[in-house]
Each structure stands twice: as structure tokens, then as C-alpha cells.
């Protein structure tokens, strides 16, 4: 595949910049680490693009914002937090070997940030471009959502540099996603002497897991998956408490409403048991309609480029749900997000940086 009107990018320089970011570990929730990471991202933006990057303080850590000036036209969206705890780098250092870069966060999503910045650096005209790199995407974007939505509406188009789908495909749609927590209160008793005097929270949890699982509708893309459960204290005590955590994915707002209503309507099966349900579909679905125009541009720039809808969520869910044209998965080609085998394909870096430059240029011309 070849790009039209390719711009000059330096892959060695991109690898050096990627190394710099990866070697500053940035686990979500670690405010000191995230501050160091945000400062590094800001310094990289300033060194490659000029101007001044500002740190937007939040309870989740600093977000990084940069604007080229002029009427806002396109928002480059990403995050600098990662899922890996401090110390991961000691066990899995940044490495370039066999055409791949490996290390914590190379694919999700530090490689995408580097490619986007280098693609923009190759453009003579960067007017109307904004960059927002958040600190809490991996934990729900609770502190950054309002800012993301504000800047998306102001710019009118959003390019999300999360890692690409399989084979380098961009992400044209995403399911909405959420997490629900069901807390169950029973009553303890001696499991041998008088089990009938207790209210077994574990048995109640089993009933709830079956009822919750039945809410799934795979025929319309809705998955409801209990993922974590706990109950009990010791082997001879009827458990007085239990918890169940549930992952939910939906393709439509109607399904999100149905699922939220169903969780709110859960009732105990055992007499004396009590339930407390928390959670919501916190990321709305990203409909494929939001990406149609931008994906068409991307295909003209990169003939043969494929697009796909995926189950995972990103901050692109928020912007697409507002009706702002959004194209996701523009970042690194690779795989292994959130896993020890995470990797980035080096040979694809220049092409993806060119794609970023071409999309921004096309959006500028259309504005």
C-alpha cells in the first residue's frame, strides 16, 4: 500500500521518541508517574511542533493539551496512561528487534502518539490542529470526559490514535461498554451447627450470576459477562457477603438503556438477602455512521485500508456519541494490548505517520 503525497518522516527519530515515552512508566492512578509522563509528552510535542503544551490538572493526573492556533478544525486524541504497574520496565525493557518494538505501552498507545506528532511535524500548515492526551483513559476517563467532549465539539472532527485493529485496520465503530458491581448482604451462621439460621450470600450470588448472564443478547451484539466474584471468610461460616462484577458491551443506546434498567430491577432470590447495584454503560456506543466521511478520506489516502467495528471502548466513543465525525484506531500497527507480548511493527510507522498527516491536511482543506 502506498500513500498519496507522502511526507518525509524519520523512523529512527520516531523510535528514539517512543523509547523516551516508554521508559517513563505511567500506570493509571500513579500521580507522580503520570506527572513525569505528561511532562515528557508535552516536551516531545513542543520539540517537534513548536508552541507550548499545557498541563491540565485533574484528580486523575495531568492531561496534556496543545493547539497550533487558528480556528479549531481537528482534534488529535490520545492518552498517556498505561495499564502496567511500576517496575514492569525492569522485567520488560524497551527493545527493538526483528522489526518490532516491545515494552509497556508501545502499542496502547504511546506508539500512536509518536506517529501522530511526527506526521503533524511534516506538515507546513498545522493551523486549526489541537492535541489532547489524557491521563485516565484506561480507568474510564472520568476526569477527562468533559474536556474531551468540549474540544471535540469545538474542533468538529476527531482522530483517535489508539492502536490499529488486526492487520492495520482502522476502527470505524466501537461497542459501548460499562461495568456493574452487585453487592450482596446475607447473614452469617455456623455452617455445621445451624446453617439454616444464615442467609447464604454465595448462593444468592449464584442466582444473580445466572439472572445477569441471561440479560445478554448476542444477536444484537450485547454481551453481559460476570468477570469477578468473591464471597465468604472461612470454610465453616455461612457467607454474609458477596460481590459480583460484570462487564457489559452494547452496540446501541437502546440496549444500553435496557441493560441499565435490568440491573436496577434485580431483586434477591433468598428471603433476607439484600442487593446493592452500582454501575452504568459509561462509554456510549460509537456508531459506524460517525466514521463514514473520515474513513472515506483515509481510504483515498491509503488504498486498501480496511475498517472494522470492535468490542473495546475508547475516548472516541464519547466524541462519536456527540455526533462529531470520529475515526479511531489510527495509531500503531501491532498487537498485544495490555499483555506481556505487546508490540509495535516498525515498518508501519512511516505509513501511519503519513496517514495522520494526510487526514489532517484533508480536513484543513475541507474546512
Q: Is 81 a catalytic residue?
A: yes
- Other CB atoms within a 10 A radius of the CB of residue 209 amount to 16
Q: How far apart are CA 71 and CA 74, in angstroms?
A: 10
Q: Which residues of 98-136 are buried (b: 16+ CB within 10 A; e: fewer)?
A: eebbbbbbbbbbbbbbbbbbbbbbbbeebebbbbbbbbb
Catalytic residue among 17, 25, 81, 351: 81
**244, 212 Cβ separation under 8 angstroms:** yes
Q: Is 137 a catalytic residue?
A: yes
Catalytic residue among 108, 137, 162, 351: 137
**How many CA within 13 A on the CB side of residue 55?**
18
3-class secondary structure per residue, the chain:
CCCCCCCCCCHHHHHHHHHHHHCCCCECCCHHHHHHHHHHHHHHHHHHHCCCCEEECCCCCCEEEEECCCCCCEEEEEECCECCCCCHHHHCCCEEECCEEECCCHHHHHHHHHHHHHHHHCCCCCCCEEEEEECCHHHCCCCCHHHHHHHHHHHCCEEECCCCCHHHCEEEEECEEEEEEEEEECECEECCCCHHHCECHHHHHHHHHHHHHCCCEHHHCEEEEEEEEEECCCCCEECCEEEEEEEEEECCHHHHHHHHHHHHCCCCCCCCCEEEEEEEEEECCECHHHHHHHHHHHHHHCCCCCEEEECCCCCHHHHHHCCCCEEECCCCCEECCCCCCCEEEHHHHHHHHHHHHHHHHHHHHHC
Q: How many residues does the chain have?
A: 367
What amino acid positions are annotated as catalytic residues?
81, 137
Amino acid at each position: 500500500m502506498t500513500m498519496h503525497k507522502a511526507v518525509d518522516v524519520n523512523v529512527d527519530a520516531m523510535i528514539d521518541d517512543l523509547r523516551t515515552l516508554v521508559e517513563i512508566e505511567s500506570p493509571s492512578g500513579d500521580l507522580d508517574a503520570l506527572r513525569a509522563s505528561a511532562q515528557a509528552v508535552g516536551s516531545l510535542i513542543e520539540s517537534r511542533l513548536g508552541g507550548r503544551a499545557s498541563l491540565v490538572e485533574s484528580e486523575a493526573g495531568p492531561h496534556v493539551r496543545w493547539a497550533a492556533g487558528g480556528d479549531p478544525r481537528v482534534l488529535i486524541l490520545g492518552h498517556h496512561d498505561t495499564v502496567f504497574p511500576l517496575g514492569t520496565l525492569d522485567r520488560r525493557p524497551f527493545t527493538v528487534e526483528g522489526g518490532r518494538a516491545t515494552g509497556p505501552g508501545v502499542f496502547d498507545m504511546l506508539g500512536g502518539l509518536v506517529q501522530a506528532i511526527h506526521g503533524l511535524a511534516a506538515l507546513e500548515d498545522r493551523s486549526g490542529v489541537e492535541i489532547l492526551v489524557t491521563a485516565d483513559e484506561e480507568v474510564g476517563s472520568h476526569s477527562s470526559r468533559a474536556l474531551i467532549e468540549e474540544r471535540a465539539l469545538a474542533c468538529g472532527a476527531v482522530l483517535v490514535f489508539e492502536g490499529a485493529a488486526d492487520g492495520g485496520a482502522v476502527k470505524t465503530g466501537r461497542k459501548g461498554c460499562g461495568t456493574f458491581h452487585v453487592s450482596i448482604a446475607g447473614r452469617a451462621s455456623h455452617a455445621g451447627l445451624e446453617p439454616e439460621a444464615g442467609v447464604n450470600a454465595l448462593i444468592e450470588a449464584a442466582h444473580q450470576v445466572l439472572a445477569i448472564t441471561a440479560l445478554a443478547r448476542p444477536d444484537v451484539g450485547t454481551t453481559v459477562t460476570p468477570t469477578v466474584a468473591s464471597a465468604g471468610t472461612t470454610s465453616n461460616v455461612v457467607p454474609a457477603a458477596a460481590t459480583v462484577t460484570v462487564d457489559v458491551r452494547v452496540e446501541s443506546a437502546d440496549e444500553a438503556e435496557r441493560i441499565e434498567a435490568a440491573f436496577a430491577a434485580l431483586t434477591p432470590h433468598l428471603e433476607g438477602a439484600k442487593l446493592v447495584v452500582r454501575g452504568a454503560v459509561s462509554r456510549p456506543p460509537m456508531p459506524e455512521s460517525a466514521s463514514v466521511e473520515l474513513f472515506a478520506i483515509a481510504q483515498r489516502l491509503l488504498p486498501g485500508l480496511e475498517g472494522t467495528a470492535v468490542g473495546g471502548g475508547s475516548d472516541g466513543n464519547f466524541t462519536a456519541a456527540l455526533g462529531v465525525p470520529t475515526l479511531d484506531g489510527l495509531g500503531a500497527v501491532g498487537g498485544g494490548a495490555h499483555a506481556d507480548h505487546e508490540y509495535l511493527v516498525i515498518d508501519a510507522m512511516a505509513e501511519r505517520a503519513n496517514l495522520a498527516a494526510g487526514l489532517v491536511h484533508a480536513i484543513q482543506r475541507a474546512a
